[in-house]
Structure 1
């Protein structure tokens, strides 16, 4: 079974209830030509916590699903020094064929079940050649025995990430961010370097601040500026606020003036205020725009659901800070009125906007009171500065380590068994 085929596969208990999904396979490399022994699976449960599932607890690996004995330990997976993650650390590694010493790149590895009950080991490696001899095509791929390659034990500098990224191509940005968070710093930097600017920007927005700063710091300054331009302005401003003043100013200077200007405005507000929380790119329309125009803007797939929930009607200019703010039109109202209706005639003027210095608790109360997922932020002159969305409010209400905090885990209904991971120590 090739291990890349296990990525994202659902894990079920004997009753058919889903426990989580496979994110990686843990192996231990052995000396000489002995193939690595498979210790278990890294499974991401409902709460995005990653746990260790020993192979001794796997009863079936068939038909695109993993069946367990029904008992798992929900303690967070911590990689040990002697362990290796197949998807995270072995794919894209450059190794050599024992016969001839030719350098090849690892695309995948396969594991096989041993006669002994529930024991598995790596037996084959799927590799791609580099330049070969006159009879070999560049990029030829082949499957060889584990013993036919060498070089897995040495740490590699400049390891690629194309195969790893292909394995996780269908993941949402938040899930890919979770993958990056659990990689080593070296692999995290390599994967970030391989992502295009837009994809990296989406992933950075979902990472903890420490990971954001680490990744941005390892990018060339010109590329770091490009990635910041691709991020949502509020997220980019939050990231810049974590940098030393000289680094922040240098990156702002490298950005296009039209992209740097809103970030500079956002950085002038206190972090836990409406001004510090808002995005400067809500949907802004002039009063003579039609419902059809509004719906066309709402359909933009790059908009978050919260931003697409309503449009803001303003006098020109229609870039923030706008002309006079007139009111908001909710998505449901757009669906009820004919396409030729002018948005200026259906605008909701009863909902008061928020001043930029509104505190986080007041913003939270506002959204809860009016059952809103976004709120307009307007300055003293009546110009729309941006919009605060519920997802940004939640990011600041939750603890800083909410992505890792066990306090926010939801159980799968299975019973944690203390010491289950230790029961596999003999496999080491």
Structure 2
């Protein structure tokens, strides 16, 4: 939904059909999944519980919901059909929040929650529960006689996480807004038992982001303690090159079993990356750059560049190729850099502004040559093209840096004790080194499931 979309009360979503982009019904909404947060911050809506054929209930992330309107939900068409399992930090909105007795902050009056409203945040794909529809008075036969009103989420108390005494829930809530690299630092210093508990409570996308920032030993340990189906889900959520690096550290039998559980398209990308030598362009590249057809416009390119999940390096350019647009693509035609997109009218075809001056890298290009290429031409990413002229992927500067730094650079960074900079938050949870709720250190960025 676009920014500024209307507020939706969740009672109107119960049982509504869910459709794919082709208009085929894939199931019905049975509940919504939210994550409570510390203090009075509105809960984040993680996704929907959808009942599909055979009465199986699956989880549909909000990132895969493209529209909620006219009594229907539209999805991207990508569904994970594994059975939904609620996690410790998650709450079912219809099943656990409605009909709950809470209190108004303004006067302490006890009220019953009749409904809650959700709204998409401006310029983002995140959703929050921002309003609560309540009724004053007793329950039972007298319930209908009380005054009803709609209040802000912060205007009630009774189901939000408290600052103290929430155990693992409070810990994970504190982690929510930390940057993946900072959260990886925290996990690295936890005991193996506690590390496994926190990893189990994090959603798939968040855990995937954190795994990419951890040393290999921690990655293997955490992945090994997950159920195999969930481990496959997390690998699918990781960047293909990072997933390939992690799988290469596992015994052959475990590697094949997890690849078999992954979606075929994701597994194919990872297998292809694992076929290249590690310190070559093919071994370093990601298989998910922005690819456009020559008849796409500058406006189309800018829309793709704006995608929130893209890293800055991948968003710095688009690659123009003939169909098919999935890697390996049709013939590679050239690159259009982000700055050029900003200088041309939105209706301009990308084929008219494509840069063909720089030679692409071949998949067997060794790391020193890749590094020199990026440095010589001041690039943050470069295309990788095979002998037939098809785009295989792109090498980004962050992946190159990972391989230029010492093998133990992550461990070195995690053990580096530096005096805090004045003016920056330094509060921690006692005995853990974990930033306390409400400190600056907990105010990074994150995204879920």
Q: Structure 2 length normalisation: TM-score?
A: 0.56
Structure 1 residue aligned with 2:99: none
Count of aligned positions:
268
2:355 matches 1:348: yes
> In the aligned structure 1, how far is the partner of 2:163 from the partner of 2:352?
67
2:210 matches 1:217: no
> In the aligned structure 2, how far is the partner of 1:292 from the partner of 1:143?
46
2:398 to 382, 391, 400: 391
> In the aligned structure 2, how far is the partner of 1:376 from the partner of 1:408?
36
Structure 2 residue aligned with 1:378: 385
SS at match of 2:299: helix
Detail structure 1 runs of 4+ shifted over 3 Å in the superposition.
138-144, 406-414
> Does the C-alpha gap of structure 1 residues 350 and 183 become closer, same or farther in structure 2, counting only changes over 3 Å?
same
> Does the C-alpha gap of structure 1 residues 191 and 410 become closer, same or farther in structure 2, counting only changes over 3 Å?
closer
> In the aligned structure 1, how far is the partner of 2:188 from the partner of 2:241?
21
Structure 1 residue aligned with 2:247: 240
**1:409 Cα deviation from its structure 2 partner:** 6.0
Q: Which runs of 5 or more residues in structure 1 are unaligned? A: 6-91, 93-137, 147-158, 415-428
**1:213 Cα deviation from its structure 2 partner:** 0.3
Structure 2 residue aligned with 1:254: 261
Structure 1 residue aligned with 2:140: none
Does the CA-based 8 Å contact 1:313-1:327 persist in structure 2? Answer: yes
Structural mapping, 1:76-155, within 5 Å? none
Structure 2 residue aligned with 1:311: 318
**1:336 Cα deviation from its structure 2 partner:** 0.3
**1:412 Cα deviation from its structure 2 partner:** 5.5
Structure 1 residue aligned with 2:299: 292
1:140-197 Cα offsets, whole Å, 9 max, x none, are 99999x9xxxxxxxxxxxx962210111221011111111011000000000000011
Does the CA-based 8 Å contact 1:233-1:280 persist in structure 2? Answer: yes
2:341 matches 1:334: yes
Q: Structure 1 length normalisation: TM-score?
A: 0.59
**1:400 Cα deviation from its structure 2 partner:** 1.6
> In the aligned structure 2, how far is the partner of 1:366 from the partner of 1:202?
28
> In the aligned structure 1, how far is the partner of 2:363 from the partner of 2:212?
22
Does the CA-based 8 Å contact 2:161-2:170 persist in structure 1? Answer: no
1:196 to 197, 203, 207: 203
Does the CA-based 8 Å contact 1:201-1:230 persist in structure 2? Answer: yes
Structure 2 residue aligned with 1:118: none
Q: Which runs of 5 or more residues in structure 2 are unaligned? A: 1-37, 40-88, 90-157, 422-449
2:168 matches 1:161: yes
**1:403 Cα deviation from its structure 2 partner:** 2.1
> Does the C-alpha gap of structure 1 residues 335 and 378 become closer, same or farther in structure 2, counting only changes over 3 Å?
same
1:303-352 Cα offsets, whole Å, 9 max, x none, are 00000000000000000000000000000000000000000010000010
The structure having more radius of gyration, on CA atoms, is 1
Does the CA-based 8 Å contact 1:160-1:190 persist in structure 2? Answer: no
> Does the C-alpha gap of structure 1 residues 193 and 339 become closer, same or farther in structure 2, counting only changes over 3 Å?
same
Structure 1 residue aligned with 2:188: 181
Does the CA-based 8 Å contact 1:284-1:319 persist in structure 2? Answer: yes
**1:295 Cα deviation from its structure 2 partner:** 0.2
Does the CA-based 8 Å contact 2:188-2:414 persist in structure 1? Answer: no
Q: CA RMSD in A?
A: 2.8
2:328 matches 1:321: yes
> In the aligned structure 1, how far is the partner of 2:282 from the partner of 2:368?
13
> In the aligned structure 1, how far is the partner of 2:397 from the partner of 2:163?
50
> Does the C-alpha gap of structure 1 residues 246 and 172 become closer, same or farther in structure 2, counting only changes over 3 Å?
same
> Does the C-alpha gap of structure 1 residues 345 and 223 become closer, same or farther in structure 2, counting only changes over 3 Å?
same
